[in-house]
Amino acid sequence: MNNRRTFLKQTTGLAALSAFSPSLYAGPKVASRIRFAAIGLNHGHINGQVEAVIRGGGELVAVYAKEPDLVAAFTKRFPQAKLARSEAEILDDKNIQLVVSAAIPDERGPLGIRVMKAGKDYMADKPGITTLEQLAEIRKVQQQTKRIYSIMFSERFENKATVKAGELVKAGAIGQVVQTIGLGPHRISLTSRPEWFFDKKHYGGIICDIGSHQVDQFLFFTGSTKGEVVASQTGNIHYPQYPNFEDFGDLTLRGDKGTGYIRVDWFTPDGLNTWGDGRLTILGTDGYIEIRKNVDIAGRTGGSHLFLVDKKETRYIDTSKEVTPYGTQLVDDILNRTETAMTQAHCFLATELALKAQKQAQRLKIA
pLDDT score of 4 = 58
Predicted TM-score (pTM) of the model is 0.92
Strands (E), 17-154: 34-39, 58-64, 82-83, 98-101, 121-125, 149-152
pLDDT score of 16 = 37
296 or 14: which carries more pLDDT confidence?
296
In which band, very low, low, confident or very high, does the pLDDT at 3 lie, cut at 50, 70 and 90? low
Contacts of 243 (CB under 8 A, 6+ apart): 236
Strands (E), 211-326: 227-235, 248-255, 258-265, 279-284, 287-292, 305-309, 314-317
Strand bridging mode 177-185 / 279-284: antiparallel
pLDDT, mean over the chain: 93
pLDDT digits (tens, 9 = 90+) for 324-340: 999 999 999 999 999 99
Query: How many residues are recorded in the chain?
Result: 367
pLDDT score of 278 = 96
pLDDT digits (tens, 9 = 90+) for 165-174: 999 999 999 9
pLDDT digits (tens, 9 = 90+) for 243-263: 999 999 999 999 999 999 999
